[in-house]
């Protein structure tokens, strides 16, 4: 065997190892987090951890329901807010816009996607929170600081906008041009074509993209932490403060490690987050891959 | 008959108009948000901005509003991001090369690998932070520059791989066949392939740097925070996002103003990276055969 072949073989082996190791990171994270959350899992049943609403670390009571509900409220609100805006924007870009418009819109979306979480947090505190406190809340409740589910939902909604728009554009672009042409030649308007041909054909892609955006929104930490209010309790409405899981981890980690089981409980929180994000990602990616493949 | 036909087309036109209106409104909303965020950060940040802020370390009374700047955070961020970008490139270029040159198109391993990296891409940075922290405890590390570098590297490798992989997808396979038919081994085609996907690598790098420099949740427990510039890997390091976050929670207005200034610096860095990324994708495709 000559030197060149040997080099090729060695390189192949090395690169294969690197790829496999990188894949195994997924497993390593899951195992690491699970091992760390074992103590709290042993001390209480899974259902009392997930559905208990008593959060008293000093007494060893860890009910995650307030945090889970906080995450659910904030995430759903963010998606409900971002979904229509991103759908209409993506339809406009793929079905209506001239190349000129695209050259203008893409950099804007780039900027929106590039801005760091903490910058959105600052903006939320300076703009969204006072707006809610002064203009929205007075119509419904006596007093609100503005640090609410609503504020977190709006900030988060804007943060997932660029992701949703770019995923939707990809999905819509995979609809064959012939279908559009057929529809238009039968006398349908552009909107009818967009609605009955493009959207209908893209349903699974839209769903997968939304699930992906949900999982992105769930893990967002700093921006949400800055505007959510961080009060432990079940939120009952948009103007209540909330305390999503990432905020819980970020706020307490490293500080309360002297309390028994507390670290383990926080690791369990990270594990919940990881598992949900993992499942959502797997499902939506598999659907999106299939769409991509059809396209080819 | 004629009347009916007219009615239908009027209905069509009204619907078309409403749909278009909604699209315009949506686009306007997006633009308004971008402008609002940028304007808020700029107008608040520029007031507290001064040369001292970006050129001096925090002085003795910095956190009660006296002299000094946040050079520690700027340098800390650059150190962490620079080192992890380098490490990230060393790991991801071979992986991307392997996925695209060594594996065939329908390969099971390639499918699983792409799926795994997409999933890793989606893992929240707070989870990376928590996982990184357990790793550090495992190895007996305290919050340090090294810890920050490790976690940020983990965070950006999936971004690197997925963006570079996207770029290599459009890479014409004919070139590869030409190389191989001339007797090159697959390893030797690296020279050609890298030149083809160079703009992709550059864009991926800028994108990852942007993500890495803005991420706060992962460095919170791993890099820690300090007022000085770290001189070794085992010392804690300050970062820009955390400088914003911590100073913002201060009750003293001058300190809060500095948080805005730090946010402005961070935003400026990220914007430059983002614009440069677009520019490179558009221009630097000289060696590219398409």
Q: Provide the ipTM.
A: 0.89
Interface test with B, best of A30, A75, A114, A165 (most B CBs within 10 A): A114
Beta-carbon contacts below 8 Å between A and B: 256
Within A174-221, where are the H helices? 177-185, 190-193, 200-201, 203-219
Contact A222 B241 (CB under 8 A): yes
Tens of pLDDT along chain B (290 residues)? 455 555 567 888 898 899 999 999 999 999 999 999 999 999 999 988 888 888 878 776 677 767 778 888 999 999 999 999 999 999 888 888 888 888 877 788 888 898 999 999 999 999 999 898 888 888 888 888 999 999 999 999 999 998 888 888 777 778 888 888 998 888 888 888 888 888 888 888 988 898 899 888 888 888 888 888 888 888 888 999 999 998 888 888 888 888 999 999 999 999 999 888 888 877 765 555 54
pTM of the model: 0.90
The phi and psi torsions of A90 (rounded to 5 degrees) equal -65, -40
Question: For position A237, what pLDDT does the model report?
Answer: 83
- The alpha carbon of A127 is separated from its chain's Cα centroid by a whole number of angstroms, namely 22
B116: nearest CA partner in chain A: A23
Range list of β-strands (E), chain B? none
Q: Which of residues 92-131 of A touch B (CB under 8 A)?
A: 92, 96, 105-123, 125-127
pLDDT for A23: 82
Average pLDDT of span A93-97: 90
The C-alpha atoms of residue B91 and residue B93 are separated, in whole angstroms, by 6
User: H/E element holding A88?
Assistant: helix A65-91
Inter-chain residue contact B215 with A115, CB threshold 8 Å: no
> Is pLDDT of A226 > 70?
yes
B chain contacts of residue A192, beta-carbon cutoff 8 Å: 12, 15
Nearest of B28, B220, B210 to residue A222 by alpha carbon: B220
* B287 Cα to chain A: minimum distance (Å): 24
CB contact under 8 A, A118 and B124: no
The torsion angles phi and psi of A243, rounded to 5 degrees, stand at -150, 80
B47 touches chain A (CB under 8 A): no
Most A CBs within 10 Å, among B130, B157, B241, B273, to test the A interface: B130
CATH of domain A49-295: 1.10.3720.10
Domain definitions of chain A by residue range: 49-295
Angle in degrees, CA A248, A252, A253, rounded to 5? 110
Partner residue opposite B12 with nearest CB, options A22, A111, A189: A189
């Amino acid at each position: 065997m000559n030197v060149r072949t040997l080099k090729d073989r060695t390189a192949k082996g090395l690169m294969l190892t690197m790829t496999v190791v990188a894949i195994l990171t997924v497993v390593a994270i899951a195992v690491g987090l699970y091992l760390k959350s074992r103590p709290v899992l042993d001390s209480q049943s899974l259902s009392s951890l997930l559905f208990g609403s008593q959060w008293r670390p000093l007494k060893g009571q860890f009910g995650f329901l307030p945090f889970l509900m906080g995450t659910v409220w904030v995430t759903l609100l963010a998606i409900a807010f971002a979904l229509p805006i991103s759908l209409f924007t993506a339809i406009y870009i793929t079905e209506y816009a001239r190349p000129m418009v695209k050259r203008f819109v893409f950099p804007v979306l780039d900027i929106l996607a590039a801005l760091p979480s903490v910058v959105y947090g600052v903006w939320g505190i300076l703009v969204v929170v006072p707006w809610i406190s002064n203009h929205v809340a007075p119509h419904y409740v006596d007093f609100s600081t503005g640090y609410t589910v609503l504020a977190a939902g709006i900030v988060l909604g804007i943060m997932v906008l660029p992701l949703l728009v770019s995923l939707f554009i990809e999905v819509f672009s995979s609809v064959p041009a012939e279908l559009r042409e057929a529809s238009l030649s039968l006398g349908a308007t552009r909107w009818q074509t967009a609605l009955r041909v493009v959207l209908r054909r893209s349903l699974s892609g839209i769903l997968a993209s939304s699930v992906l955006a949900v999982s992105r929104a769930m893990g967002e930490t700093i921006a949400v932490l800055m505007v959510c209010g961080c009060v432990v309790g079940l939120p009952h409405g948009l103007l209540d403060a909330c305390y999503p899981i990432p905020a819980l981890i970020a706020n307490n980690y490293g500080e309360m490690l002297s309390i028994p089981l507390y670290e383990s409980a926080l690791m369990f929180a990270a594990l919940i987050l990881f598992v949900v994000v993992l499942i959502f990602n797997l499902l939506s990616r598999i659907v999106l891959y299939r769409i991509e493949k059809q396209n080819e | 008959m004629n009347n009916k036909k007219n009615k239908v087309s009027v209905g069509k036109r009204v619907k078309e108009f409403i749909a278009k209106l909604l699209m315009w409104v949506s686009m306007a909303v997006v633009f308004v948000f971008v402008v609002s965020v940028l304007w808020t950060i700029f107008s608040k940040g520029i007031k507290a901005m001064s040369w001292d802020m970006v050129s001096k370390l925090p002085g003795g009374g910095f956190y009660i509003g006296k002299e000094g700047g946040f050079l520690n955070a700027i340098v800390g961020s650059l150190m962490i991001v620079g080192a992890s970008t380098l490490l990230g490139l060393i790991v991801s270029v071979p992986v991307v090369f392997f996925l695209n040159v060594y594996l065939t198109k329908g390969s099971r391993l390639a499918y699983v690998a792409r799926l795994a990296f997409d999933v890793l891409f989606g893992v929240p940075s707070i989870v990376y932070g928590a996982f990184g922290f357990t790793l550090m405890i495992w190895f007996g590390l305290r919050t340090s520059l090294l810890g920050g570098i490790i976690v940020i590297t983990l965070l950006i490798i999936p971004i690197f791989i997925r963006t570079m992989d996207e770029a290599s997808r459009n890479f014409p396979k004919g070139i590869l066949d030409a190389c191989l038919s001339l007797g090159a081994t697959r390893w030797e085609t690296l020279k050609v392939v890298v030149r083809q996907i160079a703009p992709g690598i550059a864009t991926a790098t800028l994108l990852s740097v942007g993500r890495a420099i803005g991420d706060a949740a992962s460095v919170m427990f791993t890099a820690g925070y300090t007022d000085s510039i770290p001189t070794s890997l085992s010392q804690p390091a300050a970062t820009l996002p955390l400088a914003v976050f911590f100073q913002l929670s201060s009750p003293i207005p001058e300190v809060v103003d500095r948080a805005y200034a730090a946010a402005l610096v961070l935003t400026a860095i990220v914007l430059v990276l983002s614009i440069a990324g677009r520019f490179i994708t558009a221009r630097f495709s000289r060696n590219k055969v398409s």
